[in-house]
């Protein structure tokens, strides 16, 4: 859910701003559509694959750390017990209680390893299906966002007119997605929605004027 919402607002903001920038530099929509489509393809593949690789690396990292903990618990049980005790030292538990926790925990090897992974290494078990799902979600959300902001240029030949419609579509969509994004990330909803919308507008305005200035 988080991936989806964040990528969709990125997909709205960046192609929108790119198209706005080009509208400041060229008068017809043809090249803007080409650039927009190229950008959407590039970004959705790059981000989708990036998310996939990062996700699989995380799964592999978790599995190898887990294997290492099993090895250490087998080979150096006293060292691992000491590590359990160290975790609780920070929370001010008494020496004898820490000793007892380490002893009880060491009776069940699976639970012991699970404990070390979570509390010593601070890792949570990643879902092995997540990387692929997350890649598809990121890519498709970016594409949806991009299509919304680029749609007017497909139908309107004059780039400045296309920009006006694109701005209306995009800012409404950004506001709506800003509401969801705020819910997901835990920011106050209206503040968050306005922020997301304002960022989109600011980015597009910056791109428009810089591109116009460069084209002169």
Q: Looking at 18-26, 67-75, 131-139, 161-169, which segment touches a second copy (CB under 8 A)?
A: 18-26
CB atoms within 10 A of CB 123: 16
Applying CB under 8 A, among 8, 22, 135, 163 the residue interacting with a second copy is 22
- Would you count residue 91 as binding a second copy (CB under 8 A)? yes
Applying CB under 8 A, among 104, 157, 158, 160 the residue interacting with a second copy is 104
In the complex, minimum distance from the CB of residue 19 to a second copy, in angstroms, rounded to a whole number: 9
Buried/exposed 166-191: b ≥16 CB within 10 Å, e otherwise? bbebbbebbbbbbbbbbeeeeeeeee
| Residue closer to a second copy, measured from CB, 176 or 203 | 203
Q: How far apart are CA 179 and CA 170, in angstroms?
A: 14
Checking 34-38 for CB contacts under 8 A at 24+ apart, the result is 36/146, 36/149, 36/150, 36/153, 37/150
Query: Which alpha helices (H) appear in 94-158, and where do they start and end?
Result: 95-105, 109-115, 130-155
Applying CB under 8 A, among 74, 79, 97, 127 the residue interacting with a second copy is 97
| Residue closer to a second copy, measured from CB, 97 or 172 | 97
- Among 18, 17, 15, 24, CA closest to 209: 24
Applying CB under 8 A, among 5, 8, 35, 135 the residue interacting with a second copy is 35
- Would you count residue 211 as binding a second copy (CB under 8 A)? yes
Cβ(54)–Cβ(93) below 8 Å? no
DSSP 117: I
Applying CB under 8 A, among 18, 135, 167, 193 the residue interacting with a second copy is 18
Structure-block tokens of residue 82: 């000491």
Residues at the site binding a second copy, with contacts judged by CB under 8 A: 6, 9-10, 13-14, 16-18, 20-22, 25-26, 30-31, 33-35, 37-39, 41-43, 45-47, 49-50, 53-54, 57-58, 60-61, 90-94, 97, 100-101, 104-105, 107-108, 111, 114-115, 119, 122, 124, 185-187, 192, 195, 199-200, 202-204, 206-207, 210-211, 214-215
């Amino acid at each position: 859910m988080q991936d989806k919402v964040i990528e969709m607002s990125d997909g709205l903001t960046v192609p929108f701003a790119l198209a706005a920038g080009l509208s400041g530099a060229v008068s017809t929509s043809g090249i803007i559509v080409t650039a927009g489509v190229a950008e959407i393809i590039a970004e959705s593949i790059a981000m989708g694959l990036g998310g996939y690789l990062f996700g699989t690396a995380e799964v592999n990292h978790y599995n190898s750390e887990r294997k290492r903990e099993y090895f250490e618990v087998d080979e150096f049980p006293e060292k691992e017990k000491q590590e359990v005790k160290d975790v609780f030292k920070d929370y001010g538990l008494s020496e004898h209680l820490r000793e007892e926790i380490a002893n009880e925990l060491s009776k069940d090897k699976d639970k012991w390893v699970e404990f070390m992974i979570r509390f010593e290494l601070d890792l949570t078990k990643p879902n092995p299906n997540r990387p692929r799902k997350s890649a598809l979600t990121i890519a498709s959300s970016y594409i949806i966002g991009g299509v919304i902001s680029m749609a007017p240029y497909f139908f309107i030949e004059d780039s400045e007119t296309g920009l006006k419609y694109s701005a209306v579509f995009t800012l409404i969509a950004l506001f709506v997605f800003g509401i969801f994004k705020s819910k997901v990330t835990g920011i106050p909803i209206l503040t968050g929605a306005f922020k997301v919308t304002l960022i989109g507008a600011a980015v597009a305005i910056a791109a428009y004027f810089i591109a116009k200035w460069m084209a002169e």
